[in-house]
Structure 1
Amino acid sequence: ANMLNGLTDIVLTKIDVLTGIEELKVCVGYEIDGEVLDYIPSDQEDVAKAKPVYKTFKGWKEDITKIQNKEDLPKECLDYIDFIEEFTGVPVSMISVGPDRTNNIYVKR
């Protein structure tokens, strides 16, 4: 999405729904015939053979809905957010940690 659209920021919503999941898996590539690609192939035959390659993150159990500062989030949550920024090359400028409008953390960049 970043390559096609030239994103300047990511707004990360609903991260609170990940609370309590023991492991978070993020697809970082596709294995086709022993070769790992970091993009979705355009050939439909290759897509049919593709196996996802995952990076696994440890989850968190703490309730994050009352947190107002990014640095107060659990380490595991911060690791996940840092990976998203690093992998996409796009900064996360807002993190939604709950269902209310007041449950947003605005990250200064």
Structure 2
Amino acid sequence: MQMIAPWWVIIVISFATCGIIGKTGKIAFWQSFLAIFLLWIGYALFKSLPNDNLLAGRVAVMTGIKLWWLLLLVTGFLSGLVAGISGYCGYQFRMAMLAKKTDEKIA
């Protein structure tokens, strides 16, 4: 993903997407979480499997996790959590802007 955009682009995309089409805060969080979790794990497997998980195994040992697939789950969980929080914030931002617009119409 680094060739296309930096890792933090998931924050911007989740915020904007859930800010535009989020139905509820709960749905905004879980949709963002699951989308990025699956994307992150899938891309990591796509890059890791052709080289027999050599780099993932070394990074796992270096971080103290010891198992390459557990490292993928941990990083996927962390990225999903970041995206989920961002999606929830995007939804809440939209709700705040709608409430502000409604207050201005009343006044």
- Length-normalised TM-score, structure 1: 0.30
**Would you tell me which structure has more strand in proportion to its own residues?**
1
TM, length-normalised to structure 2: 0.30
Which one scores higher on RCO, CA 8 angstroms, separation ≥ 6? 2
